[in-house]
Structure 1
């Protein structure tokens, strides 16, 4: 009961915010007008005079951390939202007022199971950063080591859990009533839930940090913080304090005798090696997560969001790269098919035409004439236009590449990420086209096909046996009829109640003229009839008001 009340209260908050920012038509499409308060139906709020993207961004920021994260992920999904909304959602900021220091200290002590002073010699009450999920404080261990302590905000789990359950319910409504062709709302919410829960689990982030530390252990130009596992839980992360200058502080770098151009190139090389060689990359390389040490090395923090490119995806990316450089549109299409971006229902002819135009527009240009940002935007526009379903990690990669290029240009106006990427891309292609790698892939696929062929007779025999027994069933799905049937049933029920109401009123009027038991000088049967009629009429009025159609 308490859970249902909590959901209903949160639903009403969501409805109020959507109304405030002019999204009442969404409630009508989802048949949720019954959640609109009566006063709002009589006097609907006037939405702000902004673009739909700006209004959506403001609504998501008002709804809190879960919806801010939702908007940030939507900004990387051109298959779901159009370009103007995606650009606006990319401006979402994950900054909130900090939690009181005493509440944070109690949370730390609860996680460690002992008083704060037994673990830390000093704990700074002023946070270094405060976000919707967690808060970061500086501290000093008892041996004098400087660390940062990342603490999950108290009570955030319940807020996120409620919002995720509501989003799951809304996704079902969207899929059932709107039947979008571009994507599956349920699958998207499932993926979003997985990503958000991973980001909230600091044990997983600590594991990501350790993975990157091992990968870069022999590279003195890169610094990854050390994790203190004995002080780390799923709600608490304690790691080494990285002291340095923010990577986009050009003046600060020059004051320390560090050439900003070297930093720009180093940052790009590090990120491209993560992507093209390791297949695991930092998913949010904005300037707040990158620092330059006094010796010119690059410090990287915040590994809550990590992208992964498996072998198949890397091979498909290599196909895309080779296809573009050789002006081979068919190879690019094969790469997109292998990525799962092109479904069976997509007409390849317009996709091929737009790809040829995109390649021709940039073919022959020098790398200095090309930039990641415009290229990624063009690809995303093409993806949205043709309903391409690009893997989420590949979309995250596109956003991260644009961020890296922006940081590089702030340090060096002549910086070109594609020029830096050229040798790494060649290495990726060399690896993918290496005869031993090709033979290995062919052998793996051959074994898979042989296993499939071996299971085929058994599956065919089972299907024929079911057919002969009359057990084979064919199911038909009437799309869109469920909602119509529900509305017809609701309408017919109201008509029936209205008929009963009319009969009661007429009958009670007749009974008033007849003889029988008398209450307060009026025939009792007539009074009872009018009371029943009043209740039925009230029920009809409430039902109509709750439906929002009056």
Structure 2
């Protein structure tokens, strides 16, 4: 399996992104396959010593995007990027007087400048066409036909193309900031208009430490519990109130800063918010029903919700037996009084492996799994699924009125 991951890493941006996406599709791929590919999530956002593209290209890209040079817009511009991924890389810079006049922001403000890699859009289209050809050949092999690679690639294509457009990422960031305007301890980078283009995005530079540090810290239990609850309530607001869900909430994308008094403040790392998901009102209601069923350990209702998500595309051969199997699974957990010790992500993942759901629904469920994973490491007594019971819906509805 390590060889499969290494092959994807060397094949191109679309292959890396597909590997990251495939790692989350426990409903489609074997557990060991998903586990091997999960490392692609962390490797894509590692801080780098050498850029994936050179400073010369970065300077040309900024000139083309804004009809102004790096020296015109920035008083300082770090030559080495602070982070790099398969789509682009991020630089730390400081606005010049001209840059400040153009944006209405104070001169000397530190910003993040994200620049798309050269030819990444064309490379993704080329890689995707090649992947589809391989998928068609694979579907003809009896031992591999069950993977349904053509279907998964079709689901994967749309969000991948969206990630390439940094102007769309800016719109997502603006909307996330508006949605969380009443939430003091959660923030996202602000896009700095008019320095926004499909290939270059300038945004506020977020300071903080990666949340992984706190996940690994054996102490500070009260502080870590507050972090876990803050992460969960933020996600529930995205999903159940705002209907704009950040679909890439792994620990490498989340920073922690200390506000005054010292309470946790979560912010989005500068690597972006290109992946976002909307749900139809019907799916939004079903998702709430699913989470509430999980909090009650109601296996039959969980099975009913997951089958409804798939509508006419469901391939479950015996829905009744499926629901009874889930009910028995959760009955056994209750009988053993093991729910507190059982990771909610593991339970949800077990359900996901048994049923085929549409890509956008799976994206939300997988985001839940990722969040449940790191929040339960912060506080083993905490569960996103359990927090649904206590989510203050009435407060948010008053704000939206």
Which TM-score tier does this pair reach, normalised by the shorter chain? Answer: 0.7 to 0.9
Higher normalized contact order (CA 8 Å, seq sep 6+, divided by chain length):
2
2:92 is aligned with 1:138: yes
Residue 56 (structure 2) pairs with residue 108 (structure 1): no
Is the 1:324–1:359 Cα contact (8 Å) retained in structure 2?
no
The residue that corresponds to 1:398 in the other structure is 365
For the residue of structure 1 that corresponds to 2:75, the secondary structure is: strand
Change over 3 Å in CA distance of 1:254–1:372 after alignment to 2: closer
For residues 140-539 of structure 1, what are the structure 2 equivalents within 5 Å? 140-142=94-96, 143-175=107-139, 182=146, 185-250=149-214, 259-295=223-259, 296-301=264-269, 302-321=272-291, 323=293, 331-340=301-310, 343=314, 346-363=317-334, 365=337, 368-381=340-353, 383=354, 388-412=355-379, 414-424=381-391, 427=393
CA shift, 1:63, in A, is: 1.3
> Aligned equivalents of 1:203 and 1:154: distance in 2?
16
Cα pair 2:315 2:356 within 8 Å, conserved: no
Q: Deviations over 1:375-407 (max 9, x none)?
A: 1232233x2xxxx21122333333323332343
How far apart are the structure 2 equivalents of 1:270 and 1:128? 27
* Equivalence for 1:60: 8
- Provide, for residues 502-526 of structure 1, a one-character-per-residue CA deviation record: whole Å limited to 9, x for no partner: xxxxxxxxxxxxxxxxxxxxxxxxx
For the Cα contact (< 8 Å) 1:253–1:259, is it kept in 2? no
Higher helix share: 1
**Separation in 2 of the partners of 1:211 and 1:412?**
30
Deviations 1:423-473 (A, max 9, x none): 13x959xx9xxxxxxxxxxxxxxxxxxxxxxxxxxxxxxxxxxxxxxxxxx
* Residues 208 and 107 (structure 1), Cα distance of their counterparts in 2 relative to 1, 3 Å cut: same
- SS of alignment partner, residue 80 of structure 2: strand
- Please give the alpha-carbon distance, in whole angstroms, between the structure 2 residues aligned to 1:131 and 1:344: 36
How far 1:188 sits from its partner (Å)? 2.8
Contact 1:323 1:329 in 2 (8 A): yes
Residues 21-40 of structure 1 aligned to structure 2 (within 5 Å): none
Q: Distance in 2 between matches of 1:427 and 1:362?
A: 29
Summarize the alignment of residues 43-122 of structure 1 with structure 2, pairs less than 5 Å apart. 53-92=1-40, 93-94=43-44, 97-98=50-51, 99-122=53-76
What's the CA shift for 1:339?
0.5
SS at match of 2:212: coil
8 A Cα contact 2:90 2:115, kept in partner: yes
Gap runs ≥5 in structure 2:
97-106
- Counterpart in 2 of 1:42? none
Separation in 1 of the partners of 2:279 and 2:167?
Answer: 22
Q: Deviation string for 1:18-41 (max 9, x for gaps)?
A: xxxxxxxxxxxxxxxxxxxxxxxx
**Distance (Å, rounded) in 2 between the aligned partners of 1:164 and 1:379:** 29
Aligned to 1:498: none
Contact 2:87-2:117 at 8 Å conserved across structures: yes
Instruction: Please give the alpha-carbon distance, in whole angstroms, between the structure 1 residues aligned to 2:215 and 2:296.
Output: 42
d(CA) in 2 for partners of 1:240, 1:180: 46
Which one has the largest radius of gyration?
1
Q: Which moved more, 1:159-168 or 1:146-155?
A: 159-168
Kindly report the root-mean-square deviation, in angstroms, between the aligned alpha carbons of the 2 structures: 3.2
**Structure 1: unaligned runs, 5 residues or longer:** 1-52, 432-550
How many angstroms does 1:367 deviate by? 5.8
The 3-state SS of whatever aligns with 1:303 is coil
State the partner residue of 2:104.
Answer: none
Q: Please report how far the alpha carbon of residue 237 of structure 1 lies from its aligned counterpart in structure 2 after TM superposition.
A: 0.7
How many residue pairs match? The answer is 370
Task: Give how far 1:285 is off.
Answer: 1.6
Distance 1:401 1:150, change over 3 A: same
How big is the shift at 1:222? 1.6
Contact 2:345 2:369 in 1 (8 A): yes
> What SS does the corresponding residue of 1:297 show, helix, strand or coil?
strand
